[in-house]
Amino acid sequence: MLELKDVELRQGSFQMAADMALDGDTKVAVIGPSGAGKSTLLMALAGFLHPAQGAIVWSGVDITKAAPKDRPFSVLFQDNNLFPHMSIMQNVGLGIRPSLRLSAAETTRIHGALEAVGLTGMGARKPAELSGGQQSRAALARVLVQRKSMLLLDEPFAALGPALKVEMLDLVAKLCAETGAGVLMVSHDPNDAERLCNQAILVAGGRAHAPVTTMQLLNNPPAALRSYLGK
Amino acid sequence: MAYRAQQLNFPIPSGFGLGAAALVAALILGTLGVVAWNAPDAGRLGLSDWVAVRFTVSQAFISAALSVAFAVPVARALSRRNFFGRGVLITLLGAPFLLPVIVAVMGLLAVFGRSGWVSQALELIGLPPIPIYGFHGVVIAHVFFNLPLATRIILQGWAGIPAERFRLAAQLGFTSRDMVRHLEWPILKRTAPGAFAIIFAICLSSFAVALTLGGGPRATTVELAIYQAFRFDFDLGKAARLATLQLAMAGSAAFLAFWASKGQGGFGKGLDRATQRWDGATRVARMSDVAFILIASLFLLVPLCAVGARGLAALPDLPISVWISAWLSIKVAALSATLAFLFSISIALTAVRFAWVESVGLLAIAASPLVIGTGLFIVIFPFASPQDWAMVVTACVNVVMALPFALRVLIPAVQDVCEGYGRLSLSLGFSRWAMLRLVILPRVRGPLGFAIGLAAALSMGDLGVVALFAGTSEATLPLQIYRLMGAYRMDAAAGAALLLAVLSFGIFWICDSWGRRDA
């Protein structure tokens, strides 16, 4: 259970409030007009922006002040998810042990993760030698070995073509089904939200609204979302 | 949405950088304090002091003005012509920065000296030779070193004009005059003052050029006067007076340079990529461009070729003392490279968190090697023989001299890494050392290699503080060359100069290519 208790986020003159609770194993889309604060909400959860007030609670434990690495989330950013000077193996290995001093068992785990995302035998390559889709797969392999409870996606697949993006969303769904992890995904495409997430949070007008089912939100959008969707 | 870096506490070690910056500041200001403390009557400036100041300022002003004035047409020609060898020529423009002063001086003497090629040509048509010693020589040498620097700074400004502008200008039918008015002048207005200020500051602190081509009461820079006061008269009061004066002059010039070059990039990346331009197609424009590129190339290359040719012939017969000196210089350069690595990376890491730490680089621009040297001499003298410390002091002083340039390339590189990968590293939970070892060092290796190579090459070719410290027996290679020249053994000096040039560029190349390897 993830709870945001009277959270208020401030960045310069920007301000937004969030007060909600959601199950830790659900897949939730974060939808709203650009500039409304979708990414801000995600970054606050990940620990890169401290709330001006309120508390973030995970399974009854207050994680408002916890360091990013100590939170139950793995994160995929819009870009720079892989270190270009490291091999794919090393990039995935960072998810287990950032010092990269890995045991044989841990190396086996990396191979397993690469296999799960369809990158068998590509561990020795550098990110630049991979296609955009393969790079996303490598980042997902790292998420897999991190074994965190919830995955935060800040539009990491935005640069991919429509077919590849669908492929990635399906891969995320598959991995989450295997590990039981939840997903919180920022998206500006309602189709993505519908495909992956059964619930959705609307971020608009300085407020992150409590989650409702995605269908309900998209079929019956409030005014702020309606103009954004063009309906 | 952009997140300001200050909000995040990146896992990078920053304590060492504070220590390193404090050490550099202590070295620069502490030595000045020591000199002043030991000067009984530091207040009064004599007539000869003012003569030195006047010479220093006037030669620096003329050198900077000539360098920039000549650089403008050369840079313009390079920016609008695309010819075979352009890339090589632009790379060569970066070379004088690493070239040991003594090597260039030998080359200039071979061309402009009393028996040099130009003087002989002038004699043929019945004219007196150019007086190379004194004011003229100092200015010629300074233009030799700084014309390429000015050309690169100005060229870099123009290279920043987007190709679309030139296409639009061609479409609108801009004449050469319109080009100047709408495109070239607005950029030049920003780059030229910065170039002037930097060169002025560099020439103010000139020591080796003045030592070899100047001298005498009428051609002495303040730095040279400090050396003479200390080495010949052991007049600490006078040395302290001059040291204070030097720091005040160099400090204000450095501040001026910093202010005038604000917002300009470092060392001209991507200059070898010529933007296609459609202007300057007239016959006059083409001929003047060719002439300027030719004159500049000859001015820079002929002296070097002269040393190279004479040195190559003398190389087999080099006295053993030259080889001993070369080995000593290599050791100094290696020490300097190690220190440069430790200091520049730790200060750059700290600058991500405390931006003000970067200002230690500004202090280093103002620093005078001779002042630092004098101060260290006084400190070391009671405890040990300063001669034994000559090599360490030379290495340290050159690390300080290279620091502003090193920080200028390293700090933005470290900042880029933190901005690009800081959040990912935080979410993966890197420790400080893992972050340094796995992320920062591999990603800033390019600029780091450049910084280390610069410090190593500068100390390899340094003829400054070592002249103050060295005894009669041991000598670094530049000092050995100076002594050979003093003994009129010009062939041996040319051979040693060639060796020194090869070593200086070689050590820079080794460090720089370490930085570029599988980058």
* Alpha-helix residue ranges (DSSP H) falling in B315-389: 320-353, 359-366, 369-380
The alpha-carbon gap from A157 to the nearest alpha carbon of chain B, in Å, equals: 16
Select the residue of A46, A69, A100 nearest B429 (Cβ to Cβ). A69
The structure tokens 């995955």 sit at A151
pLDDT value at residue B42: 52
Homologous superfamily of domain range A1-72+150-231: P-loop containing nucleotide triphosphate hydrolases (3.40.50.300)
DSSP strands (E only) in B105-186: none
Model confidence at B272, pLDDT cuts 50, 70, 90, reads low
B107 vs B120, higher pLDDT: B107
Contacts of B431 in chain A (CB under 8 A): 98-99
Size of interface A-B (CB pairs under 8 A): 64
pLDDT value at residue A74: 92
Range in B114-123, B138-147, B149-158, B275-284 with the lowest mean pLDDT: B275-284
| CA separation for the pair A1, A25 (Å, rounded) | 8
Tell whether the model's pLDDT for residue B177 goes beyond 90: no
Write the pLDDT tens digit of every residue in A174-222: 999 988 999 999 988 888 888 899 999 999 888 999 899 998 888 888 8
pLDDT value at residue B381: 83
Domain ranges within chain B, ordered by starting residue: 1-37+318-519, 58-285
Q: What is the mean pLDDT of residues B394-405?
A: 90
The complex scores an ipTM of: 0.77
Percent of chain B with pLDDT over 70: 93
Minimal-distance CA residue of chain A relative to B416? A80
Tell whether the model's pLDDT for residue B116 goes beyond 70: yes
pLDDT value at residue B266: 44
Q: What is the mean pLDDT of residues B260-280?
A: 58
Q: What is the mean pLDDT of residues B154-176?
A: 78
Tell whether the model's pLDDT for residue A64 goes beyond 80: yes
Q: What is the mean pLDDT of residues B424-430?
A: 87
Tell whether the model's pLDDT for residue A58 goes beyond 90: yes
Range in A29-43, A47-61, B262-276, B463-477 with the lowest mean pLDDT: B262-276
pLDDT value at residue B501: 95
pLDDT value at residue B426: 87
Tell whether the model's pLDDT for residue B12 goes beyond 80: no
Q: Does domain B58-285 have CATH number 3.40.50.720?
A: no
Q: Which class for A103: exposed (0-12), middle (13-18), buried (19 or more C-beta within 10 A)?
A: exposed
pLDDT value at residue B81: 82
Q: What is the mean pLDDT of residues B470-498?
A: 89
A79 vs B327, higher pLDDT: B327
Write the pLDDT tens digit of every residue in B356-383: 888 888 788 778 888 888 888 888 888 8
The alpha-carbon gap from B443 to the nearest alpha carbon of chain A, in Å, equals: 7
Q: What is the mean pLDDT of residues B239-250?
A: 84
Contacts of A46 in chain B (CB under 8 A): 423, 427
Q: Which of A99, A149, A184, A186 to mutate to test the interface with B (most CBs of B within 10 A)?
A: A99
| CA separation for the pair B347, B213 (Å, rounded) | 37
pLDDT value at residue B43: 59
User: For B153-171, b where at least 16 C-beta lie within 10 A, e where not — what string?
Assistant: bbbbbbbebeeeebeebee
Close Cβ partners of B318 (under 8 Å, ≥ 6 residues apart): B492, B495, B496, B499
Test A95 with B423 for CB contact under 8 angstroms.
no
Close Cβ partners of B518 (under 8 Å, ≥ 6 residues apart): none
pLDDT value at residue B156: 84
| Mean of all residue pLDDT scores within chain B | 85
pLDDT value at residue B377: 86
Select the residue of B428, B429, B442 nearest A85 (Cβ to Cβ). B442
| CA separation for the pair A157, A185 (Å, rounded) | 11
Tokens encoding B353? 């968190």
pLDDT value at residue B273: 56
Test B421 with A68 for CB contact under 8 angstroms.
no
Q: Which of A34, A39, A48, A150 to mutate to test the interface with B (most CBs of B within 10 A)?
A: A48
B135 vs B115, higher pLDDT: B135
| Mean of all residue pLDDT scores within chain A | 90
Contacts of A69 in chain B (CB under 8 A): 426-429
Select the residue of B421, B427, B431 nearest A46 (Cβ to Cβ). B427
Q: Please answer whether residues A15 and A8 qualify as being in contact, where contact means their C-beta atoms are separated by less than 8 angstroms.
A: yes
pLDDT value at residue B338: 94
Write the pLDDT tens digit of every residue in B454-464: 999 999 999 98
- Is A102 an interface residue toward B (CB < 8 Å)? no
Contacts of B421 in chain A (CB under 8 A): 80, 83
Tell whether the model's pLDDT for residue B83 goes beyond 90: no
pLDDT value at residue B271: 52
The reply to whether B1-37+318-519 and B58-285 are identical in fold is yes
Class of domain B1-37+318-519: mainly alpha
Q: What is the mean pLDDT of residues B147-164?
A: 85
Domain ranges within chain A, ordered by starting residue: 1-72+150-231, 82-147
